[in-house]
Amino acid sequence: MSAAALKESTRDPAAARLDQVLPSGQGWTHVVGAGETFRIVDLEGNQAVDTLFFDAHDTSERYSATETIRAQGNLYLTTGTALMSSEGRPLLTIVADTCGRHDTLGGACSAESNQVRYALEKKYMHNCRDSFLLALARYGHGMTKRDLPSNINFFMNVPVTPDGALSFADGVSGPGRYVEMKAERDVLVLISNCPQLNNPCNAYNPTPVRLLVWPR
């Protein structure tokens, strides 16, 4: 993380058109219009916010980790990063960030990964993949598990080791830190506020996040 990556916003929460607290373990969908600004606040620190973005008018075009990494030449997301779509076009741009580093490789926890990573009896615990699917079912529009590409993990620290492996390390976020994005087009936001109870990155304590949207 570099000092240049850290940038505070001047936006006033009182002027937001949406200001909502999302409990841990809950899924969420919302359309953010072109030119609007979307902020995610890590209220208590080191909470992973699994997030996907879709073109609101054609959800077959969605966030692409591959295109995003290729376009910026960096594995990690921070101020200035354009979040690219599967068609190589920007969906949103990160315009402020007080955390400084966000993961785009670690993916979402699932029943299967809980079982493999932690223990057989953990398979049926809540997980982000199921939260995504429940949120999509509520949203409607026929979206299913086939619409879930690799997601962003805002506030999560997943360094790549010298031999190319991923390591789930202690978080670099803290209470009140946030990431703020400007929508480059109308985008559907899909969030699972991670319920993971088995990973020490969040001190085994999933916590709520705050979501704000400002009009253009």
pLDDT tens for each residue of 52-88: 999 999 999 999 999 999 999 988 899 999 999 999 9
**Chain mean pLDDT for the chain:** 86
DSSP state of 206: -
pLDDT score of 111: 47
Rounded CA separation 157/169 (Å): 6
Q: Taking residues 31-59, report their average pLDDT.
A: 96
Q: Determine the structural domain holding residue 209 and report its residue range.
A: 23-34+45-176+184-214
Rounded CA separation 65/101 (Å): 15
Q: What is the pLDDT of residues 98-157, one digit of tens each?
A: 999 898 886 666 545 555 455 445 445 567 888 999 999 999 999 998 999 999 999 987
Does 39 map to a domain? Answer: no
Does the pLDDT value for residue 20 go beyond 70? yes
pLDDT score of 162: 73
pLDDT score of 130: 87
pLDDT score of 196: 61
Rounded CA separation 44/54 (Å): 28
Does 79 map to a domain? Answer: yes
CA–centroid distance for 37 within its chain: 15
Does 14 map to a domain? Answer: no
Q: At 44, list the tokens.
A: 């208590």
pLDDT score of 79: 96
Does 18 map to a domain? Answer: no
Q: Taking residues 39-45, report their average pLDDT.
A: 96
144, 94 in Cβ contact below 8 A? Answer: no
Does 144 map to a domain? Answer: yes
Q: Which of 39-48, 90-99, 201-210 has the lowest mean pLDDT?
A: 201-210
Does the pLDDT value for residue 173 go beyond 70? yes
Q: Domains in the chain: how many in total? A: 1
Does 5 map to a domain? Answer: no
Residues 6+ apart with CB under 8 A from 52: 62, 63, 132, 148, 149, 151, 152, 189, 190, 191
Does 103 map to a domain? Answer: yes
Does 4 map to a domain? Answer: no
